[in-house]
Structure 1
């Protein structure tokens, strides 16, 4: 598949440079390499995509965002990431509740395709109010509003043309790959003629009631409606039960009135809060394998890349790994026997592979017989469960010490799942360490996949790729439940680094979690973790919060005070104006406008008078 030089996303014209094309192509390769798994994801996406398209249209969100749903959760309702983000759109609990989603012992709307998509649209609209650019709004979905504001120059707000190059955030390039991969196969009325998903109003009913009414097996309903935690569906608002409609059947008609749109909006309104995707990101569930290869995400393809005479991989001068001479270890090999087989000294084999004096070889693993490179072939790698710095350096053929240097890491530093590692260049000192979500892998197929297999033609055998090495599997205990996984995830500690400091913030009248996170450029969920709070309990005036705040915050221009050298003027909000546009008009920051007018959010009313302080 060819990556175009120009394309459009949500009204923004994108110019894609050659450096970005290469990265996008590598992600495309990962997405489409296995025809079987690609088709399975296409089929699963099409089951839900009609519902997503309808919500996006009703909420005024560009249709292009539907491909982000594939990127985020791959349409797995109960997908759980390493940072405890859950569901179709990968929300953390606090963020979901701030956006009006119900998450408790009765219902978890993060696992409901319609409710969670409405929640995602609310975030997109809120973010776009700041950036006036849907592309930056998408980036903020990973970074959080504060993180995106720090990384996106204010001059680019409202841009109608954007250049996608090597410096563009990898999350956006990954999205472009998803859009290109799926746009011709997913959405716009494409349905499986043998299987569709329909909705049935379940307000006040039990799934057992619905099962009888739609004539669908109860267990099938439970598998498709994991959002219902309790035994009975709440009756305070509409709840659509998802059920399958197979070939020869038609959806059940109901004589119930739908809630008016205004009522639906009212029930989903929430206090102003941002989605914490930091670190974000990459959301991928039921991570497929192909020919025994572990897919690795980010701006990359599949590594390591083994080429040559694979059948004779145990013999010297037969194969290369990432373009470097390599050999495969036999079951009884140690460093000495392998070195003798390739005619090298033990010390050189240890040097080539960054092996310590007591390191043992792993049967069937591949080892280099020449020096690894100083940089990787791709830009980034996102750390997966079970990986180490050494295994990553081997996978990409990059020297271990060079990998440390590029990421400004100490050898004893703990490697956390989800960290974005730099492979080609040294991470600039002014760019903070970035993390993204990694969805915990599941071995069992989803309920949707099982149904698709039941109604689809028999599977065709997949021709194996002889250049690929066996998978490095991450062991997951079979009896480990989602609840146990969630409990194992630790909350973010209140620890300052060289680039930030710990402060005490005293809650002011009308302040919300979102307002505080926006004020300091930190993440909402971090505030919750640092202070052991529950977002549903709200905040109290004069409540003290301990926060880790970037030192850059204190280097900003201090608030202007009405003095002899400061002029106080008032601006009356006109139709279509945004805080960003007003801030540019007067040469001040959005943050100062909020402070001067005691505002806790970016919402504006027609005719509202805003106080502006300017130097004479």
Structure 2
């Protein structure tokens, strides 16, 4: 297992060039700064970094095996850390759940089972297989794994609207200030964890193994592997019912401690059943959950392992005397902490400044009041933040964020193109360093909700780790109550919550009625209109597992831009047929540009299922007259 002593001595450096899944990345100086910010947030606490490393290594071998089997580049394993940080039952504000943060309808379209028996989003192997299906479907469109990863955040339609078609199939990509922040965040995760996670690295005292559980109960398995039933429940929250289904393989996760070996088991399966499962896997439709996209923050008993909250404000100086003037700084600005009975007058008197100065420095206005125990500035705040972005967490306001980062309230509004203060939606991406460009819309990302109970894997790691193995001091701990952990609700009682999205159009949208045609699927309709599958489900109060009926009426919120494209498409209905003979070195992208058509059209006209071309192959092309 990698030691963090080396990490502590040698700061991580963002290179000018690196590779991701066969794509060469050239990183500009402006992008380096953003990546370094995320790296700093990830690695600032050596203790919590090590905790995440240990938790990731418990599962990473399983993820690597699935990626290899499904033909997905190994680099995607670091995205698993970025998405769910290997917390099986992580739930976001948008009801995205599990290791890879899937919303219910999207997961079911990918072939994952979610019902009163199992929730495969919480199963490390099943959910990783689901993620690989999405990556394959997306890469079929982009022919570039980097854009496929970006679409995991934006959805396929969102990524297609963002990424220029000329960049499809690119083998070299420049990472600059305009590159989507989700990609830059991923690069930081890869740089932070690639020397410490995966490739056979394991905790010396704790590993996770799998045991075939089809048709059994967890109590049956606990006896067979000699593991406490409560430990099995905590590691297998994917099982909602009392008995594991027997129609396919379900691997039960169990701990192997202190040098013990996994239980040997005969898991051979009938060939006809393997073939049946394989075919059903291939035929599953693929769609990515709308994640109003990736700074996703998760709590591991402290705030936070990643993200911005908790990293700011930075309070330094003589903390013991933080209630007195000239003792501490907050974000590099003179500050003081308010006493329990303080008001603006008493605090101003203590620091020798006027009431109006205190109000001005802290954007309190005429009616603003002090909060007991909060920190307040004694000099002007800055015009910009020290980091580029902040993801809004529950309970936060524009004022509290301006205080956390030491940025003037009006400047925060200006950088986010707000004329006046707005109520913030959880997950909104706020700009702190620069003004959000006019051509970049307001973005949102899911925020994983804090957990009341300690993460079971972390609890086991702490139990088996000796003091000599500890690599840092815990600085922001949350006391663990044994009763909290023991009284965790039974997996049989868990209910999966659903939040419906309201059918409501903005100035850029219009509400239409779509009549379902023969053989149309949810996925096909979502792609036709460039909307998200989950939204179709929510707007119409449907269940994706019930399917669609011919002539069924669906109410949809469709971007007005869709109708503009339709008008352009109908200007030249009559087309002439020509044939192109593939020459050496030609690609589908190059051919599509030559004839001013799309790659998807060429594939459809020639009944092709992939981007591969043969020398001399004749391709049918339909052109406008």
TM-score, normalised to structure 2, is 0.87
Candidates 15, 39, 64, aligned match of 2:75: 64
Contact map agreement 1:80 1:86 (CA 8 A) in 2: yes
Candidates 261, 265, 271, aligned match of 1:250: 261
2:333 and 2:246 mapped to 1: Cα distance? 63
2:161 pairs with 1:161: no
Could you tell me how far 1:579 is from its partner in structure 2? 7.1
Change (3 A) 1:498 1:592: farther
Could you tell me how far 1:191 is from its partner in structure 2? 1.4
Candidates 517, 531, 540, aligned match of 2:526: 517
Could you tell me how far 1:77 is from its partner in structure 2? 0.9
SS in 1 for 2:155: helix
SS in 2 for 1:64: helix
2:545 and 2:103 mapped to 1: Cα distance? 13
Candidates 287, 300, 307, aligned match of 1:297: 307
Contact map agreement 1:225 1:242 (CA 8 A) in 2: yes
Which runs of 5 or more residues in structure 2 are unaligned?
Answer: 1-11, 479-483
2:121 pairs with 1:110: yes
Contact map agreement 1:408 1:427 (CA 8 A) in 2: yes
Could you tell me how far 1:284 is from its partner in structure 2? 3.8
Could you tell me how far 1:580 is from its partner in structure 2? 5.5
Could you tell me how far 1:563 is from its partner in structure 2? 5.6
Q: Deviations over 1:316-353 (max 9, x none)?
A: 34433223332221222111122223333222322221
Q: Which moved more, 1:327-336 or 1:89-98?
A: 327-336
After superposition, residues 14-33 of structure 1 pair within 5 angstroms as 14-33=25-44
SS in 1 for 2:173: strand
Contact map agreement 1:99 1:269 (CA 8 A) in 2: no
2:291 pairs with 1:282: no
Instruction: Give me the CA root mean square deviation.
Output: 3.3
Could you tell me how far 1:48 is from its partner in structure 2? 0.9
Q: Which moved more, 1:602-611 or 1:358-367?
A: 602-611
SS in 1 for 2:568: coil
1:132 and 1:512 mapped to 2: Cα distance? 24
Change (3 A) 1:537 1:217: same
Could you tell me how far 1:388 is from its partner in structure 2? 1.1
Change (3 A) 1:545 1:226: same
2:588 and 2:595 mapped to 1: Cα distance? 11
Contact map agreement 1:30 1:301 (CA 8 A) in 2: no
Could you tell me how far 1:426 is from its partner in structure 2? 2.6
Contact map agreement 2:50 2:471 (CA 8 A) in 1: no
2:601 pairs with 1:588: no
2:355 and 2:106 mapped to 1: Cα distance? 54
What is the aligned partner in structure 2 of residue 266 from structure 1?
279
Q: Which moved more, 1:153-162 or 1:189-198?
A: 189-198
1:93 and 1:464 mapped to 2: Cα distance? 36
After superposition, residues 26-65 of structure 1 pair within 5 angstroms as 26-65=37-76
Q: Which moved more, 1:341-350 or 1:34-43?
A: 341-350
What is the aligned partner in structure 2 of residue 140 from structure 1?
151
Change (3 A) 1:563 1:226: closer
What is the aligned partner in structure 2 of residue 171 from structure 1?
182
1:563 and 1:553 mapped to 2: Cα distance? 18
Change (3 A) 1:287 1:225: closer
What is the aligned partner in structure 2 of residue 558 from structure 1?
568
2:441 and 2:155 mapped to 1: Cα distance? 14
Candidates 390, 403, 407, aligned match of 2:399: 390
Q: Which moved more, 1:126-135 or 1:26-35?
A: 26-35
Contact map agreement 1:288 1:295 (CA 8 A) in 2: no
1:371 and 1:59 mapped to 2: Cα distance? 55
SS in 2 for 1:558: helix
Q: Which moved more, 1:46-55 or 1:197-206?
A: 197-206
Change (3 A) 1:610 1:554: farther
Candidates 379, 389, 399, aligned match of 1:380: 389
Which runs of 5 or more residues in structure 1 are unaligned?
Answer: 472-476
Q: Which moved more, 1:404-413 or 1:65-74?
A: 404-413
2:89 pairs with 1:89: no
Could you tell me how far 1:107 is from its partner in structure 2? 0.8
After superposition, residues 101-250 of structure 1 pair within 5 angstroms as 101-250=112-261
Could you tell me how far 1:252 is from its partner in structure 2? 1.7
What is the aligned partner in structure 2 of residue 342 from structure 1?
351
2:184 and 2:601 mapped to 1: Cα distance? 33
Candidates 493, 505, 508, aligned match of 2:514: 505
What is the aligned partner in structure 2 of residue 474 from structure 1?
none
SS in 2 for 1:114: helix
Contact map agreement 1:286 1:443 (CA 8 A) in 2: no
Q: Deviations over 1:109-150 (max 9, x none)?
A: 111111100000000011111111111111111111111111
1:485 and 1:342 mapped to 2: Cα distance? 53
Q: Deviations over 1:537-584 (max 9, x none)?
A: 1122222222222223233362256666x4234679999999756643
Q: Which moved more, 1:256-265 or 1:232-241?
A: 256-265
Change (3 A) 1:576 1:141: farther
1:426 and 1:61 mapped to 2: Cα distance? 37
Change (3 A) 1:559 1:170: same
TM-score, normalised to structure 1, is 0.89
